Amino acid sequence: MKRNIGSVDRTIRIVAGLVLIAAVLLGLIGPWGWIGVIPLATGIFRFCPAYLPFGISTCGIKR
């Protein structure tokens, strides 16, 4: 898998995923909050399959 997620995008995904999962565990939101696993996983692996068809990459310019 070629990386297509940059540092800022990665940080936002990981934080958002952790916040959603924590909210579920604390009982603040319903079970739909487990969707936070998706941004967490994509942030950890630095790869988003949804970016592929569009050729999107938030990685920095390679020199």
The pLDDT tens digits of the residues spanning 10-59 come to: 999 999 999 999 999 999 999 999 999 999 999 999 999 999 999 999 99
The pLDDT value recorded for residue 62 is: 66
Distance between CA 12 and CA 33 in Å, rounded?
16
CA-based radius of gyration for the chain = 13
Amino acid (one-letter) located at 40: L
Neighbours of 9 (CB within 10 A): 20
> Of 62, 45, 40, whose CA–CA distance to 5 is shortest?
45
